[in-house]
């Protein structure tokens, strides 16, 4: 039973990784980006360090323990000690080294309704995250389907060093966001870095990623055309709370 769970999660995560890595999507090149999925209460699968999303192989998804990785967030280890801890977290000692960004995956996969995580360096989104308009893109919405797939607003994280520091910034930012808004983010924007989509299924992560890309393209086009006109906030809230939108989210496997 346990092995079945591991095999099916691995297959779904491989499929998600290959889709995110397709060159035509312009989400990641070379070793950019990483993915993960929860296997059970104790472990999850995460992309190996240095591997490519588009060509990811089964053995490049490493099964690691939550408790070992989450302990990193409570310690202040140097790079060498962090690398050792990443290796020690593997379920199988012969497995590849987990991604340096494994720690934020561990924390996100502990949140309610999050079973899959997809992190990419989307060109169209990074055009905004490398500009002074990042806050605007995170806090406002342009069209209804952006609200359905990406939530009424996104969590924006200031630039920090990828690794444990980024995981801590995401944890603190997520908790603040939840207190302020009363709902959890679906899309996390990392300034000067990229984005993270979280979801209950691999399909939800894809839907959020692709819709974020589309929203970014529209945002950039609207900026080029003059002043961006956002949806009024009460309309955003209305879409978010509407029953038929919940139904659409269910159909899209977003909830």
CA atoms within 13 A on the CB side of 155: 25
The count of residues interacting with Zn ion (CB under 5 A) is 1
Residue facing Zn ion at closest CB distance: 194
**What's the Cα-to-Cα distance from 67 to each of 42, 162, 211, rounded to whole Å?**
7, 20, 33
**Token pair recorded at residue 12:** 């779904």
The one segment of 2-10, 82-90, 152-160, 190-198 that binds Zn ion by CB under 5 A: 190-198
> Based on CB atoms, which residue is closest to Zn ion, 148 or 212?
212
> Based on CB atoms, which residue is closest to Zn ion, 185 or 194?
194
The minimum distance between CB 22 and Zn ion, in angstroms, equals: 18
> Based on CB atoms, which residue is closest to Zn ion, 89 or 190?
190
The one segment of 50-58, 143-151, 189-197, 233-241 that binds Zn ion by CB under 5 A: 189-197
The minimum distance between CB 178 and Zn ion, in angstroms, equals: 23
> Based on CB atoms, which residue is closest to Zn ion, 90 or 105?
105
Residues in region 193-232 near Zn ion by CB under 5 A: 194
Contacting positions for Zn ion (CB under 5 A): 194
């Amino acid at each position: 039973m346990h092995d079945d769970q591991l095999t099916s999660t691995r297959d779904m995560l491989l499929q998600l990784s290959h889709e995110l890595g397709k060159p035509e999507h312009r989400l990641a090149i070379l070793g950019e980006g990483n993915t993960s999925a929860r296997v059970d209460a104790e472990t999850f699968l995460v992309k190996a360090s240095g591997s490519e999303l588009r060509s990811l192989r089964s053995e490049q998804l490493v099964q690691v323990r939550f408790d070992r990785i989450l302990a990193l967030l409570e310690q202040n280890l140097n790079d060498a000690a962090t690398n050792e801890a990443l290796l020690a977290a593997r379920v199988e000692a012969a497995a590849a080294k987990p991604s340096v960004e494994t720690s934020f995956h561990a924390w996100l996969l502990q949140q309610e309704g999050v079973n899959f995580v997809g992190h990419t360096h989307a060109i169209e989104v990074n055009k905004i995250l490398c500009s002074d308009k990042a806050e605007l893109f995170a806090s406002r919405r342009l069209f209804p389907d952006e609200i359905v797939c990406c939530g009424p607003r996104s969590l924006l994280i200031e630039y920090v060093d990828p690794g444990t520091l980024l995981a801590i910034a995401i944890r603190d930012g997520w908790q603040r966001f939840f207190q302020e808004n009363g709902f959890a983010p679906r899309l996390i924007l990392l300034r000067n870095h990229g984005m993270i989509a979280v979801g209950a299924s691999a399909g939800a992560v894809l839907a959020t990623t692709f819709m974020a890309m589309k929203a970014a393209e529209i945002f950039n086009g609207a900026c080029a055309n003059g002043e961006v006109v956002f949806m009024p906030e009460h309309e955003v809230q209305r879409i978010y709370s509407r029953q038929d939108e919940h139904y659409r989210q269910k159909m899209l496997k977003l909830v």
